[in-house]
A and B are shown apart, each in its own frame.
Chain A
Amino acid sequence: MKIQIKSLRAVNIGPLKDVTLDFTDPSGQPRQNTLIGGANGNGKTTVLELIFGLLELLDPTLSFTKATILSLIRDTSNQYAHIALTIDEVPFTIYYGEAPDDVEITGEYVGARRIEGLWLSDTPHGSPNMAELLHLNWNFFSNIQYQLGTQSGAKLSFCGDLSMTALNMSPAPSILFFPHSRVIKPTQGTSLSTEDTLYQWAYRFETVNTFNESLNGYLVWLEYSDVEEYHRVITFLSKHFDDKKFGIHRKTLSATVTARNGQTHKLDGLSSGEQNLLILLLELRRRLLPNSIVLIDEIENSLHPAFQYKIGEALKEMQREIPFQLIVTSHAPAILKVFGSENTLLLPNPQYYDTANQAAAA
Chain B
Amino acid sequence: MTPPIKPLPPELNNFLFELGPRKLVLVEGADDAEVFEELYLDRLSKIAFFPTGGDERLEALLQELLTQRPDVESFGIRDRDFQSDTDVEASLTASGSRLFVLRRYCIENYLLEPLVVWYVLRVYLSKAFPWSSVKQAEEHLLKLCADMRTMMAANFVLRLQDALLFSKGHELLSREVLVEAVAHRLSKDAALVEAEIVEREAHIDERLHSLGTAYTCISGKHLLFHLFDFARACDKKRRGLSEDYLFRQLLAQIKQQNLIHEDLREIVEQKILAGS
**Chain A interface residues (CB < 8 Å from chain B):** 7, 17-22, 37-40, 100, 102, 331, 333, 336, 341-349, 351-357, 359-360
Interface residue stretch chosen among B15-23, B81-89, B202-210, B216-224: B15-23
Residues of B near A22 (CB, < 8 A) are 4-6
Q: How far, in whole Å, are A342 and B10 apart by their CA atoms in the complex? A: 7
Contacting residues, chain A, for B21 (C-beta < 8 A): 39-40, 349
Contact A346 B16 (CB under 8 A): yes
User: Closest CB of chain B to A240's CB: distance in Å?
Assistant: 26
Note all chain B residues with C-beta closer than 8 A to A342.
Answer: 7, 10
- Residues in A with CB closer than 8 Å to B1 are 18, 20, 100, 102, 360
- Asked if B162 is at the interface (CB within 8 A of a chain A CB), the reply is no
Q: Are B5 and A20 in contact (CB under 8 A)?
A: yes
CA distance A286 to B8 in the complex (A): 35
Q: Is the CB of B2 within 8 A of A343?
A: no
B15 → chain A closest CB, angstroms? 10
**Given known A37-B17, A100-B1, A102-B1, contact A351–B71 (CB-CB < 8 A):** yes
| A341 and B19 alpha carbons, distance in the complex (Å) | 14
Contact across chains for A344 and B5 when beta carbons are under 8 A apart: no
Q: A39-B21, A336-B14 are in contact. Are A345 and B6 (CB under 8 A)?
A: yes
| New A-B contacts (15) at CB < 8 Å, excluding given A349-B71, A351-B71 | A7-B4, A18-B2, A20-B5, A22-B5, A38-B20, A40-B21, A331-B20, A341-B8, A341-B13, A341-B14, A344-B17, A345-B6, A348-B71, A355-B70, A356-B2
Check B10 against A20 for contact (C-beta < 8 Å).
Answer: no
CB distance from B52 to the nearest CB of A (A): 15
- Interface residues of chain B: helix, strand, loop or mixed (majority): loop
C-alpha gap A38/B13 in the complex (Å): 10
Chain B residues within 8 Å of A38, by CB = 20
Of the residues B7, B69, B72, contact of A341 by C-beta under 8 Å: B7
Give Cα A21–Cα B9 distance, bound, in whole angstroms.
16
What distance in Å separates the Cβ of B275 from its nearest Cβ neighbour in chain A?
16
Note all chain A residues with C-beta closer than 8 A to B4: 7, 20-22
**B96 contacts the other chain (CB 8 A):** no
Interface size of B by CB at 8 A reads 22
Among residues of A, the one whose C-beta sits closest to the C-beta of B70 is: A355
- Chain A residue contacts of B3, Cβ below 8 A: 20, 356, 360
Q: Which residue of A lies closest to B18 (CB)?
A: A333
In the complex, residue of chain A having the shortest beta-carbon distance to the beta carbon of B73: A351
Q: What's the Cα separation between A355 and B70 when bound, in Å? A: 7
Which of B6, B7, B17, B70 touches A359 (beta carbons < 8 Å)? Answer: B70
Q: Are B2 and A333 in contact (CB under 8 A)?
A: no
Task: State the CA gap A37–B17 with chains docked (Å).
Answer: 6
CB distance from A29 to the nearest CB of B (A): 14
Contacts of B10 in A (CB 8 A): 341-342
Q: Are A347 and B2 in contact (CB under 8 A)?
A: no
Q: Using Cβ atoms and an 8 Å threshold, which residues of chain B touch A102? A: 1
Q: Which of A21, A344, A353, A360: most chain B Cβ within 10 A?
A: A344
Distance between B119 CB and nearest chain A CB, rounded to angstroms: 36
Complex formed: what's the CA distance from A100 to B2 in Å? 12
Task: Determine how close the nearest CB of chain A comes to the CB of B135; give it in whole angstroms.
Answer: 47
A346 touches B8 (CB 8 A): yes
Q: Do A40 and B20 form a contact, CB below 8 Å, given A20-B2, A341-B13?
A: yes
Residues of B within 8 A of A40 (CB): 20-21
The distance in angstroms between the C-alpha atoms of A348 and B70, with both chains bound, is: 10
Q: Which residue of B lies closest to A353 (CB)?
A: B2
- Contact indicator per residue, chain B 18-39, by CB within 8 Å of chain A (1) or not (0): 1111000000000000000000
Interface pairs (23), CB distance under 8 Å: A20-B1, A20-B4, A38-B20, A39-B21, A40-B20, A100-B1, A333-B18, A336-B13, A341-B17, A342-B10, A344-B13, A344-B17, A345-B7, A346-B16, A349-B21, A352-B69, A355-B70, A355-B71, A356-B2, A356-B3, A359-B70, A360-B2, A360-B3
Whether B7 pairs with A21 at a CB distance below 8 angstroms is no
A353 to B6, CA, bound (A): 15
Structural contact, B69 and A333, CB atoms closer than 8 A: no
Shortest distance between the CB of A209 and any CB in chain B (Å): 34
Residue of B nearest to A100 (CB): B1
Q: Does A357 lie within 8 Å of B17, measured CB to CB?
A: no
Chain A residues with CB below 8 A from B7, complex form: 341-345
Docked CA distance A22–B8 (Å):
12
Q: Which residues of B contact A21 (CB under 8 A)?
A: 4-5
State the Cβ distance, B169 to closest chain A Cβ, in Å. Answer: 36
| Contact partners of B6 in chain A: CB under 8 A | 22, 345
A344 to B20, CA, bound (A): 15
Partner of B17, one of A100, A346, A349: A346
Chain A neighbourhood of B72, CB < 8 A = 348
List residues of chain A with CB within 8 A of the CB of B13: 37, 336, 341, 344, 346
**List of A residues within 8 angstroms of B70 by Cβ:** 355-356, 359
Closest to A357 in B: B2
- Report how far A38 CA is from B21 CA in the complex, Å: 9
A142–B35 Cα gap in the complex (Å)? 64
What is the minimal beta-carbon distance from B120 to any residue of chain A, in angstroms? 33
The residue on A at minimum CB distance from B6 is A22
Identify the closest chain A residue to B11 (Cβ): A341
* Distance, CA A347 to CA B6, complexed state (A): 10
Q: Which 8 residue pairs across A and B have the least CB separation, nearest first?
A: A352-B71, A39-B20, A341-B10, A341-B13, A20-B4, A356-B2, A22-B4, A37-B17
A38–B3 alpha-carbon span in the complex (Å)? 17
A27 to chain B, nearest CB (A): 13
CB-CB < 8 A to A360: which residues of B? 1-3
CB <8 Å contact, A333 and B20: no
Shortest CB–CB separation between residue A31 and chain B, in angstroms? Answer: 9
Q: Could you tell me the distance between the alpha carbons of A333 and B19 in the complex, rounded to whole angstroms?
A: 11
Query: How far is A17 from B1 in the complex, measured between Cα atoms in Å?
Result: 10
